Chains A and B, each alone.
Chain A
Amino acid sequence: MTKENPVWAITKYVSLLVAAFIVLFPPYIIVANAFKTPDEYLDKPAMAMPSSFLNFSNFGEAFVQADMGRAFGNTLIILGTTLTLNVLLGSAFCYAVSRFQFKLQGPLVGLFLFATIIPQITTQVINYKTIQGLDLTNHLMGPVLLYVGADILQIYIYLQFIRNIPYDLDEAAMMEGASLFKIFYSIIFPLLGPATATIVILKTIAIYNDMYTPFLYLPGSDNVVVSTSLMRFFGVNSGDWQMVSAAILIIMIPTAIMYLLLQKYIFAGVTSGAVK
């Protein structure tokens, strides 16, 4: 381990630089063109920098024209409701099935774990009819119901985590006369904090980036979300790349900032979510 082969050392850096170039090249084009004025866009080659990074007019126009204020609002409503329900229902369920012994407990947990092999995209044809039957097509609560009901990632993560919380804690609290409900919300739920953080991060990424659920279930213009606002905007402005670039950047920036701030939790969450 002490001395390293110089060929290998050079290969490592060269390959990393090539990879870094490939990752940064497409976003660079977007950044370079989102700040260009229409005249500049026609005069300069696509790769050239804009003359000023303070020309925000494309952003303003894209934001208004794509109705992004409404889109971000709707996405936030969907995210907030989904995450709250997921965390509450998921943690409560895992508390009930992992702290007590009861009949059918094994099959019940098995039923949840087995459902992960059903790919959600295959069941859309039927789920669409279910949501239609509940009169929730073109209603923000339709996607919420699907995100809460059809995904069981939170159960997986909470189940793994709750097993490592010693049962002695529950017993000690019971001796002091706490009710089981109180044990759940004042001892177990706070201790599940890291699992909750993982779930919130993974679901936020998944829901913010999801396209087909809002596309199928929220066709109306009042119920536009981030992904569909960009699709509609592109439909009207296709070919007008400096406007499209601005719209793409507006949508990419929130997750990019979240990523930079929460990178540690995101890496931990992605790893534990994948290796379930």
Chain B
Amino acid sequence: MLSRLPFGTQKKLIIGLFVALPLLLLLTFSYYPALELIRLSFTNWDGMSPDKEWIGLQNYKEVFSNPEIFGVFKHNIAYFVVGIVQNIAAIYFAIVLNSRLKGRYFFRLLLFLPYILNGVAVAYLFGYVFDTTEGSLNYMLGKLGLGSETSWLGTGSFVNYTLASIGFWRFMGFNMVIYLAALQSIPSDLYEAASIDGANNWQKFRFITVPNIYKIIELNLFLTVTGALEVFDLPFVLTNGGPAGASQTFVMKILDTAFQFNNYGLASAMSVVLLAGVVLVLSLQRYFLNKGRD
């Protein structure tokens, strides 16, 4: 029946039918909330009442001047620092697994395994490792004579590094697999030609490997920075922001402000700041990437 319709009509039908629903979903769940966030960030809406009073830039002033809000970003720094180390380790292991090596498929399988596991399960897994009295880390350190009383998740000065190290465990293999795919796409005759010209391993790494995976390094760094800005589930599950708010992250603060304290206006302003931060990182990355190409 359909095949009797002229192709022009069929084409219009297809475009209308196949585009309408995805477009409606995109507008409802991506563009509408982004615009609505901006609008609400200028109000003092409590999330329920019908009136939304316009209060100008007051929420933004609050975000930037209240150290309890903007200062929380300090906690995210730990995730960024560990993320950089994680990328270096990922490149190292990608190079190792890209060389001739017995058992390389086994090691790739093993190192990637943590990425596939359920995040909440991983969080409690490490809750056990880091437990002060019954944890296996303190038990091992005790056996090695290095003291065994450290409260890894209860000490404000390094709780964020403890949490970020769990992120390292979980995502290093993911970064590594991406680097590995990039390394495998470098033609091997480049290395052979360099060997003939007498280049050593470091020179090959510096002048062949790095330029060829440069784009992928940038991609991974972008994922690291945005990941560090958006940390939520590990501290939420394991410490709930404690001790005394030392491991609270910006996203946790947003959700608290909206859902616990019913301050949707302020929560929206915080979301806009985070959104702007991510867009800024992405724009900078694209800018430098395009500059590198010219």
Question: Chain A residues in contact with chain B, CB under 8 A?
Answer: 1, 4-5, 8, 12, 15-16, 19-20, 22-27, 29-30, 33, 45-47, 89-90, 92-93, 95-97, 100, 102, 108, 111-112, 115, 117-119, 121-130, 145-146, 148-150, 152, 155, 174, 177-182, 184, 205, 208-212, 216, 226-228, 230-231, 234, 239, 241, 244-245, 248, 251-252, 255-256, 258-260, 263, 266-267, 270-271, 274-275
Which of B15, B30, B279 sits near A150, CB closer than 8 Å? B30
On whether the beta carbons of B124 and A244 are closer than 8 Å, the reply is yes
User: How many residues of chain B are within 8 Å of chain A by beta carbon?
Assistant: 95
Which of B127, B216, B226, B255 sits near A275, CB closer than 8 Å? B216
On whether the beta carbons of A227 and B116 are closer than 8 Å, the reply is no
Q: How far is the CA of A1 from the CA of B96 in the complex (A)?
A: 14
On whether the beta carbons of A267 and B10 are closer than 8 Å, the reply is no
Q: Which residues of A contact B29 (CB under 8 A)?
A: 123, 127, 130, 145-146, 149-150
Q: Which residues of B contact A230 (CB under 8 A)?
A: 118, 120-121, 124
- Determine if B73 is an interface residue (Cβ-Cβ < 8 Å): no
Closest Cβ of chain B to A256, distance in Å, is 7
**Contact residues, B30-73 vs A (CB, 8 A):** 30-34, 36-37, 40, 47
On whether the beta carbons of A19 and B93 are closer than 8 Å, the reply is yes
Say yes or no: A182-B3 contact (C-beta < 8 A), given A97-B19, A117-B282, A127-B33: yes
Q: Which residues of B contact A121 (CB under 8 A)?
A: 230, 232, 251
Most B CB contacts (10 A, CB to CB) among A117, A122, A275 go to: A122
- Determine if B260 is an interface residue (Cβ-Cβ < 8 Å): no
Q: How far is the CA of A29 from the CA of B126 in the complex (A)?
A: 10
Sample of 6 further A-B pairs with CB below 8 A, known A209-B118, A230-B118? A12-B101, A125-B37, A146-B29, A150-B30, A180-B14, A263-B109
Closest Cβ of chain A to B171, distance in Å, is 11
On whether the beta carbons of B109 and A47 are closer than 8 Å, the reply is no
What are 30 inter-chain pairs, A to B, with CB distance below 8 A?
Answer: A4-B100, A15-B92, A16-B93, A16-B96, A19-B107, A96-B15, A111-B31, A121-B232, A122-B230, A123-B29, A123-B30, A124-B254, A125-B33, A125-B255, A125-B271, A126-B36, A126-B40, A127-B29, A180-B7, A181-B10, A181-B14, A210-B119, A226-B118, A227-B120, A230-B120, A234-B124, A244-B128, A252-B117, A267-B177, A270-B115
Q: How far is the CA of A128 from the CA of B237 in the complex (A)?
A: 20
On whether the beta carbons of B125 and A271 are closer than 8 Å, the reply is no
Stretch at the interface among B79-87, B132-140, B155-163: B132-140
Q: How far is the CA of A230 from the CA of B150 in the complex (A)?
A: 26
Which of B110, B139, B216, B272 sits near A46, CB closer than 8 Å? B139
Smallest CB gap from B254: residue in A: A125
Q: Which residues of A contact B255 (CB under 8 A)?
A: 124-125, 216
Closest Cβ of chain A to B65, distance in Å, is 21
On whether the beta carbons of B125 and A23 are closer than 8 Å, the reply is no
Closest Cβ of chain A to B44, distance in Å, is 14
Which of A1, A29, A111, A239 sits near B195, CB closer than 8 Å? A1
The 9 closest A-B pairs by CB, nearest first: A126-B33, A149-B25, A123-B33, A96-B18, A149-B29, A179-B3, A179-B2, A92-B18, A150-B29
Q: Which residues of A contact B201 (CB under 8 A)?
A: 5, 8
On whether the beta carbons of A117 and B93 are closer than 8 Å, the reply is no
Q: How far is the CA of A267 from the CA of B109 in the complex (A)?
A: 9
On whether the beta carbons of B251 and A241 are closer than 8 Å, the reply is no
The interface residues of chain B, by DSSP majority, are classed as helix
On whether the beta carbons of A95 and B129 are closer than 8 Å, the reply is no
On whether the beta carbons of A274 and B219 are closer than 8 Å, the reply is yes
On whether the beta carbons of B96 and A12 are closer than 8 Å, the reply is yes
Closest Cβ of chain B to A84, distance in Å, is 14
Say yes or no: A23-B110 contact (C-beta < 8 A), given A112-B26, A130-B28, A177-B3: yes
On whether the beta carbons of A227 and B119 are closer than 8 Å, the reply is yes
Q: Which residues of B contact A148 (CB under 8 A)?
A: 25
Smallest CB gap from B268: residue in A: A125
Q: Which residues of A contact B267 (CB under 8 A)?
A: 125
On whether the beta carbons of B120 and A108 are closer than 8 Å, the reply is no
On whether the beta carbons of A100 and B11 are closer than 8 Å, the reply is yes
Say yes or no: A122-B124 contact (C-beta < 8 A), given A26-B169, A211-B237: no
Q: Which residues of A contact B230 (CB under 8 A)?
A: 119, 121-122
Closest Cβ of chain B to A220, distance in Å, is 16
Smallest CB gap from A1: residue in B: B195
Q: How far is the CA of A23 from the CA of B268 in the complex (A)?
A: 39
Most A CB contacts (10 A, CB to CB) among B40, B100, B181, B282 go to: B181
Smallest CB gap from B93: residue in A: A19
On whether the beta carbons of B37 and A231 are closer than 8 Å, the reply is no
Q: How far is the CA of A125 from the CA of B261 in the complex (A)?
A: 13
Most B CB contacts (10 A, CB to CB) among A129, A145, A208, A256 go to: A129
Q: How far is the CA of A121 from the CA of B119 in the complex (A)?
A: 16
